[in-house]
Amino acid sequence: MRVLRNHIVGEFFSPFLLSISSFIFLFLLGRGLVQMADFIFNKSVDVFLVLKLLWYSLPFILTFIVPMSVLVATLSMFGKLSYDNEIIAMRASGLSLLKIAKPLFFVVFILSLCTFILSDQIASVTHYRYRQLLMRIGLENPGAALEEGTFIKKFKNFVIFIYEIDKNKLKGIRIYQPQEGKPTRTISAQKGELISIPEQGIVKLRLIQGTSDEPDPKDPAKFYTINFKTYDFPLNVSESSKDEKLGKKPKDMSIRELQTEIDNLGHEGIRATYPLATEIHNKIALAFSSIAFLLIGIPLGITSRRSNKSVSFGISLFLMTLYWLILIAGKALAQKGLVHPLLALQFANLIVGGAGLLLLRKITRT
C-alpha cells in the first residue's frame, strides 16, 4: 500500500510542479517582463525596484496559480493512469477509486492550508508593499505613473492626456478640469517636464508654451484664454505617496485585520460588514478551491483517457473560466449585500465540487 501511495503522490507532483512553473512563466512573460522592460528602458526606473515589484506580486499570483495547478495535475495524472489501464488494474485488485485517491485528498488539503496561510499572512502583506513601492516609484520617477496616449484619471479633480512621454520629458499635454455646473477648464501645452521633490512629497508638472482657460472675475461661469511660457501645475500625490499614509485596501489586510476593521467601523455606526466580510470569505474560498478542483478533476481525468497534457490544459481552462465567472458573480452579490458572503463565495466551490462528487459516484458504480 505504501508503494501505491508513493506512486500516486509522485504521479501527481510531477505535473503539479510543472504546471506551477508554466503558470509562473506565463505570468512573467505576459505581464512581469513587459512591465519590467517598460519601467527599465522607457521610464528609467531602477532595476532593483522593478525586481522588488515582481517579487512582491508573486505571492498574490500564487494564490491563483496553486488551485489551477492542482486541477491541471489531477486531470493529467488520472488521464495518464486511465490511459495506461492502471486504474482498471487497481480496481480489479479490490481497491476502490476513493481509496486510490485518498493520499491525494490529504496532499491537496495540506496544499489548501498552505495556500490559505499564503493568502492571509503573506500575500496581504506583499500586496500592500507592492502598492507602497508603486507609490514610491511614482513619486521618485513620476513618468513611470503616466502613460502616453491614454486619458489618465488617477489624479483627483482633473484628467490628463499626454501624446508622448520620454522619461520625464512630455510632449502634447492636455489637462481637463471638470467644473460642476460649469464648462470644463482646459490647459494645453506643447511640451512639459515632471519635477519631483521626494523629501517634500511634491510632484510638479511644468508646462511649457501653452494656453490656459481662466475664470472671468466678472462671470466665473465663463473663461478667458491666456498664453503662458511656463506654468507649474501641482499633482496631488503627496498624501497618497507616503508609505505611512497609504491606506490599506481589503486585499492588503489579513482576516484578523479585516475583522478588526469591521468591529471598529461598527462601533462608529458604519455598516461595512458585507464588503469586508466578502474579502474574508474570498480568501477562504480561493484557498480551498483546490479540493473542489480535485473532486472534479478525478472523474474528468479518468473519462478523458488521455495522457496528452494539452487536453488537461484545455479542460482546465474551461473549468477555471467557469469557476471565475461564478466566483466574480458571487463576489459582486456579496459586496452589495444581496447574498450572504459565505454562501456567495463558496457557491463556486459547491458547484464544481458537487459536480465532481456526482461524476465520481457515477464512475464508482460502473
- What is the per-residue DSSP string for 309-366? HHHHHHHHHHHHHHHHHHHHHHHHHHHTTSS-HHHHHHHHHHHHHHHHHHHHHHHHT-
CB of 71 within 8 A of CB of 116? no
pLDDT level of residue 241 (50, 70, 90 thresholds): very low
CB of 337 within 8 A of CB of 276? no
Please give the pLDDT value at position 244.
45
Strand partners, 205: 194, 233
The most confident of 17-31, 118-132, 303-317, by mean pLDDT: 118-132
**Of 20-24, 222-226, 257-261, 345-349, minimum mean pLDDT range:** 222-226
| DSSP 8-state class, residue 245 | G
pLDDT at position 332 over 50: yes
Strand partners, 187: 175, 212
CB of 301 within 8 A of CB of 77? yes
Find the length of the chain.
366
Please give the pLDDT value at position 94.
78
More confidently predicted of 178 and 67: 67
pTM: 0.74
Phi, psi dihedrals of residue 266, rounded to the nearest 5°: -65, -40
pLDDT level of residue 286 (50, 70, 90 thresholds): very high
CB of 333 within 8 A of CB of 344? yes
- With H, G, I as helix, E, B as strand and everything else as coil, classify residue 92: helix
Please give the pLDDT value at position 65.
94
